């Protein structure tokens, strides 16, 4: 298995938009990044993925 960017997804959850974007910028070079402004929205995304 190669460790390509598509092998991993990182969920960034923070209510501060600037913090989310900063973390996205840092992580985006090696990981697929999904941003969420609340835990509820992240959990909804996980629930959708699981079904």
Show me where the domains of the chain are located.
Answer: 5-50
Instruction: Give yes or no for a contact between 27 and 12, defined as CB atoms under 8 angstroms apart.
Output: yes
- Give the pLDDT confidence score for residue 51 in this predicted structure: 60
What is this structure's pTM? 0.78
pLDDT of res. 27: 97
Distance, in Å, from the CA atom of 36 to the CA atom of 15, rounded to the nearest integer, reads 8
Predicted pLDDT of residue 50? 63
Q: pLDDT by residue (tens digit) across 2-50?
A: 667 778 999 999 999 999 999 999 999 999 999 999 999 999 999 976 6
Residues 6+ apart with CB under 8 A from 46: 11
């Amino acid at each position: 298995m190669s460790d390509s960017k598509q092998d991993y997804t990182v969920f960034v959850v923070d209510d501060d938009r600037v913090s989310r974007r900063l973390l996205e910028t840092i992580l985006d070079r090696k990981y697929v990044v999904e941003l969420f402004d609340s835990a509820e929205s992240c959990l909804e995304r996980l629930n959708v993925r699981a079904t």
